[in-house]
Amino acid sequence: MVAVASVVVAVGTATGMMSALDDGSGAEAAKPEVSSSPRLDQLPVEPSVSATVTKSPAVRPSPTKKADPSPTRTPEKKQRPAPAPASARLYLHPESHVLDWVRAHPTDPRTPLIESRIADRPAAVWFADFTPATITARVREVTSDAAGQGRVPVLVAYAIPDRDCGGASQGGAPDLDAYDGWIDDFAAGLGSGEVVVVLEPDSVAQAECLSDDQRADRFASLARAGRVLKSADPKARVYYDAGHSGWNTAAAQAGMLKQAGAASPASSDGIFSNVSNFHTTSDEIAYDRQVLDDLGGPSSLGAVIDTSRNGNGAPPEGDWCDPAGRKLGRAPTLNTGEARIDAYLWVKLPGESDGCQGAPGTFSPSYAYDLAR
């Protein structure tokens, strides 16, 4: 089976997301003091299937290539559209490429459909640039606005060193010490309300590009990151990278996730999958449950699935770059009705290009319209 990594292409913040948490707001937590984490021992998983890794295809454009979810900017407050009722508790960020386009093209015949089916839906807010001086304030701006509305934002932390193994979304912090400091600053902006953090797409599933020592160091840093985030805001929910159902086997992915701290409730609330990819929700549900079973840990661990573009499933031949014939998946919701599946989220904003219908991360109205209709 041909496996394809998700495509991420990101560089900034983008738009906002989920819950299974209590309402909350309040004072910001002080920057936590969490020591650097010793490497977690490579604890064996008791797999129900072969632990052999089924790698993504030889040419893997960048696993979770998050298309530049809306460049980092601190915009003036603008009127924000009301999210769809099913997503009433998820936060909709007032700035994104799709909202910019809708506001600038009120008479375009495609605008009503794009606005109602994409722009009005809450999506994740990306923090994909290494900016230690401003990251706390930018995170705080989102979490404070969400708390004021009684909604839950979804934040994507995306600054791990070598985050795309030299692919289209290369970048991130210069080294793990710098990354640890960036995470401390990120956590300082969380406040004390509900928030969901999608921690470093591709960081676990794509770690085979690293040496054994580099991988162990990365996993130790990810485990530390989860502890820092949850220490800073006890209402924060942190999810770790499980790739997707067409990539690594569940057992192999669970083995890496355990080393990265995803089985520990001190670091983790579970896993995420299908970010920027197209695999069907049913395939992801089955895969995520198997990963969670193989991972072990408390039964409270769950999964969130990116359903932003998976309405028609994955394209043939492993095509990942703005493939034709795709459509929107299930609307973002916190009520999945599925055991151990905490939410369906739009982590990647539909219509933001992977790099074929426009520059990576730019908004393509033609692609958005095709997805929406």
- The span from the CA of 28 to the CA of 139, in Å, is 11
Phi, psi (rounded to 5 degrees) for 230:
-75, -25
Closest CA to 345 of 255, 246, 277: 277
User: How many angstroms separate the Cα of 110 from the Cα of each of 58, 162, 370?
Assistant: 38, 38, 10
- The span from the CA of 83 to the CA of 355, in Å, is 28
**Pairing of β 302-306 and β 270-273:** parallel
Q: Tokens 């934040």 label which residue?
A: 155
- The span from the CA of 9 to the CA of 359, in Å, is 10
DSSP H or E segment with residue 177: helix 176-188
**Pairing of β 236-241 and β 154-157:** unpaired
Handedness of CA 248, 311, 18, 198 (dihedral sign): positive
User: How many angstroms separate the Cα of 247 from the Cα of each of 87, 122, 202, 229, 278?
Assistant: 29, 27, 11, 28, 12
Closest CA to 32 of 184, 143, 134, 199: 184
Q: At what angle do helices 135-149 and 176-188 cross, to 10 degrees?
A: 30
User: How many angstroms separate the Cα of 41 from the Cα of each of 45, 269, 294?
Assistant: 12, 20, 17
- The span from the CA of 256 to the CA of 221, in Å, is 13
List active site positions.
164, 202, 354
